[in-house]
Structures are given as C-alpha cells and as structure tokens.
Amino acid sequence: MAIAEHPFICDSCGKDRRKDTNHWFILWIAEMGPFQDTIKPGLVIEPFSLERAVGYGKRHTCGVSCAIRLTERYLTIGQFEVVTVGSEIPQ
Ligand SMILES: [Zn+2]
C-alpha cells in the first residue's frame, strides 16, 4: 500500500520517519465552530497515524519538542511557516 511507504519527514527538524516512528504527531488547522455563527481556525495536534497523516495542510513532527516548535510558529505568525524540509507542503 503506497501510503505505508510515504516518506514522512519532520516539518520542524527534518528527521526521516522511516528511521524513528515513535512519538510522532500530526498538526493541522481545522475549521472550528460555528461559534456565534462564526467559523474559526483551530490548531489540531494528534498522535501520528498513517490513516490520517495525508491531507492538505497536514504537518508532521517527530516528537513533542518539534510539535511545540511548529505550534509556536503558528501562534506567532498565524500559519505554519513553509520551511525547507518537510512533507506535504504545497508549492
Ligand atoms: Zn523533529
């Protein structure tokens, strides 16, 4: 199955998931709400699973510290910064 061979790379530090599959996370921005008739963006962080890892805007990290680094970018600039390493980054 092709998805199992997808070479996920940590979007924070560049680690290759094929070398270490423990403690990975998926981060993505979801539409939350409506709250008082307004849809708002919300950060979702969930344990890595192959079934949910692929999709537009999904980011992947190799552990807690890298997840925190991506979260910090999101909180600082309002989006996940496009970095030179990573997977599933639209060009
Ligand atoms: Zn990492």
Sequence spans of domains, the chain: 2-39+46-77
**CA–CA dist 13, 65 (Å, integer):** 10
**Three-state DSSP class for 28?**
strand
At 8 the pLDDT is 93
With beta carbons less than 8 A apart as the criterion, state whether 42 and 32 touch: yes
Return the top range by mean pLDDT from 3-7, 38-42, 68-72. 68-72
Q: How many CB atoms lie within 10 A of CB 9?
A: 20
Q: pLDDT: is 38 or 90 the higher one?
A: 38
pLDDT-derived band at 77, boundaries 50, 70, 90: confident
Q: Is 9's pLDDT higher than 60?
A: yes
For ion ligand 1, residues whose CB falls within 5 Å:
10, 12-13, 15, 62, 66
At 5 the pLDDT is 58
Question: What is the pTM for the complete model shown?
Answer: 0.77
How close is the Cα of 31 to the center of ligand 1, in Å? 26
Place of tokens 């998931």: 17
How close is the Cα of 1 to the center of ligand 1, in Å? 25
Q: Hey, what are 45's tokens?
A: 């962080």
Q: pLDDT: is 22 or 90 the higher one?
A: 22
Q: Closest by alpha carbon to 59, among 31, 32, 83? A: 83
**Three-state DSSP class for 48?**
coil
